[in-house]
Amino acid sequence: MLAKFPGRCTRCLEPIRVGDEIVGSRGEANVWVHADCGSELALPGLAAPPAAGAARAMTASTSRAPKAPKAPKAPKAPKAPKAPKAPKAPMAAPDGATFVYTDGACSGNPGPGGWAWAIDRDQFASGAERPSTNQRMEIRAALEAVTAISGPLVVVSDSTYVVNCFRDRWWDGWLKRGWTTSAKKPVANRDLWEPLVTAVNDRGDVAFQWVKGHSGHEMNDLVDQLAVAASLGRD
């Protein structure tokens, strides 16, 4: 502050003139020193400036310490792959069942179609539908076999469309939904599915099993040849 009145510095004993910069002594009224004298050495009761080291310590203690950086998050462990679903067991063959092999073929899709079933090389049948599709001919072959052969029966087909319908009971949902799929669309080929489902349920002695097509299975190859020949109009 600036002196408003003349006086004497209690440090250097030199006069204090009006307008000189002065500082006061703490705890003592009307005791003044030149500002320079006060900054050089602390007088009793005078507020002396802190030493440089103390000032740094004070600054460090009063200032906030910087936050430690957050530790990076540990990467998430990869999810274990889902175990593949176990394949469903095939339908059990009824006691004393006859095994009949069925297949369908189509030259183009749609195009001229053919179906065939065979118990062996002496007992078989085939036919044609124009135009048709591969799926229609697979269903038609199973329908012809079920309606032509009496007694306990196992229908062996290379069509998962046909086999899974009965193994997984797709037909049960179709009936409950009024012949619509789970996507609320009409079931394709209902004109063939409906009589086949009805015949199988009425009989209660028919099972369906799958065989890999074109794998060298003698009877599957035979019905494939018969269905292709029928689609081409050959006897």
- Give me the tens of pLDDT residue by residue for the chain, a chain 235 residues long: 777 778 777 777 788 787 777 777 655 556 777 777 776 444 444 444 444 444 454 444 555 667 778 878 878 878 878 877 777 889 999 999 999 999 999 998 899 999 999 999 999 999 999 999 999 999 999 999 999 999 999 999 999 999 999 999 999 999 999 999 999 999 999 999 999 999 999 999 999 999 999 999 999 999 999 999 999 987 5
Tell me what pLDDT residue 41 has.
45
Residue 22 falls inside a structural domain: yes
User: Catalytic amino acids?
Assistant: 103-104, 138, 158, 214, 224
| Residue 197 CA to its chain's centroid (Å) | 35
Residue 117 falls inside a structural domain: yes
Q: pTM (2 decimals)? A: 0.65
Residue 114 falls inside a structural domain: yes
Residue 185 falls inside a structural domain: yes
Tell me what pLDDT residue 65 has.
66
Domain stops at, among 33, 51, 69: 51
Q: 42 and 114: one domain? A: no
Tokens of 22: 């002065």
Q: 145 and 227: one domain? A: yes
Residue 78 falls inside a structural domain: no
The per-residue b/e assignment along 124-153, b for 16 or more CB within 10 angstroms, e otherwise, is bbbbbbeebbbbbbbbbbbbbbbeebeebb
The answer to whether 119 and 102 are in contact (CB under 8 A) is no
Q: 45 and 112: one domain? A: no
Residue 65 falls inside a structural domain: no
In terms of Cα–Cα distance, which of 185, 192, 196, 174 is closest to 136?
192
Q: 103 and 47: one domain? A: no
Residue 56 falls inside a structural domain: no
**Cα separations (Å) of 90 from 67, 104, 208, 220?**
66, 21, 8, 18
Number of domains in the chain: 2
Q: Which domain holds residue 158?
A: 98-231
What amino acid is encoded at 34 in this protein? Answer: H
Q: 109 and 191: one domain? A: yes
Tell me what pLDDT residue 91 has.
95
Q: 141 and 227: one domain? A: yes
Tell me what pLDDT residue 6 has.
80
Residue 30 falls inside a structural domain: yes
Q: 108 and 26: one domain? A: no
Q: What phi and psi values does residue 101 have, to the nearest 5 degrees?
A: -105, 135
Tell me what pLDDT residue 167 has.
97
Tell me what pLDDT residue 28 has.
54
Q: 102 and 213: one domain? A: yes
